[in-house]
Amino acid sequence: MASHRKSRTPGTRVAGIRTPALATAALTSVALLSQTAEAAPGEDRPSLEEVEKKVGDLYRQAESATEKYNAAKEKTGKQRKRVDTLLDDVAKRTQKLNEARSELGSYAAAQYRTGAGMPDTATFLLAETPQDIFDQRQVLDRMTGRQKAAVDDYVTQQTETMKKRQEATESLRTLTETQGDLKTAKATVQKKLADARELLSKLTAEEKARLAAIEKRKQEEAARKAAELARQQAEQEQAREEAAQQGGGASEGSGSTGSTETPPTDSSYGTKAEKALAFARAQIGKPYVWGATGPGSYDCSGLTQAAWKAAGVSLPRTTYDQVNAGTTVPVSQAQPGDLVFFYDDVTHVGIYIGNGMMIHAPKPGTYVREESIYYDGDSAIHSIVRPA
């Protein structure tokens, strides 16, 4: 059976999401030149790999801030809808309160016309709160049944209107807070990206080429690991087919870590996954834009959410919530359509397509593309989640 792992407590990891070859080379080169210029005579010059990790952190921080922005934006949207609903309700209840007040006024006018002195109903029109009304018990005792009914309606409408006004006030206060969180997250993302652009403006062609070569070697290693995973999965599939032909006794109940038995899945999962993948493939080539959910651009969680929505499955907006929206499975048992999460703080996600590959929206300056799930090394993979 599939294991149900809880998401790990957010931590830190030095390695970050890769930039495109030229962008990585550019950023790393500038950081390297800056550190070298500031180094004391005889001090060791940092390696390109070390500097590349620092540059990766810059993009990781931007993507982490993007997910916080996404969460704040979603919360702000929901809170704004709640405020709008409450204000609409207050308006309707205020109308009903005015109608109830008008009815009481008609009783007061009638009492004036008959010379009954201070109208009993007028007493309630002067009351400012429901409690003021209930304090006039001696007046209530002198009223007719219809008058009391009018007072009861007025009290009900006034009480509910005051309650909804208070709720609207509290919701407006919460909305202001979430808008503040949204503004803070947005500023953080913009600051990280501005720093990257500033570094890019100082690059040289020589550093570009040197770091592009490093990036190429890493991509080759990632492709090799993806091919190895594809081979392992093919062997597992063959073993399952052979076990099925022999009655299923070959691997059942082993319970070992190396078991070839896959977790049971809903019979419709394959169909849903095909729809999600078809959508994701159609987005290849569209730009990564932080906070975007399509159709012209996406960030990482925006793409996975949209892909599974096309398959009829509703996923949460952020990586932090998507990681808990399904069943966790081992990497060796990943199936097309599964979500691949990265880093201990779960700030990146892609959608598995098989053979150790995924479709994802990498980071600013890149486009939706197919890439090895090992693009940032084995340790970068946080978990695999089957969402349906």
Residue 4 known to be catalytic: no
Residue 87 known to be catalytic: no
Task: Name the catalytic one among 72, 300, 334, 359.
Answer: 300
All residues at 6 or more sequence positions from 76 whose CB lies less than 8 Å from its CB, including other chains: 175, 178, 179, 181, 182
All residues at 6 or more sequence positions from 97 whose CB lies less than 8 Å from its CB, including other chains: 154, 157, 158, 161
CA distance 361 to 370: 9
Residue 348 known to be catalytic: yes
Task: Name the catalytic one among 75, 93, 192, 360.
Answer: 360
| Degrees, nearest 5: CA angle 377-378-381 | 100
Task: Name the catalytic one among 348, 363, 382, 386.
Answer: 348
Which residues participate in catalysis according to the annotation? 300, 348, 360
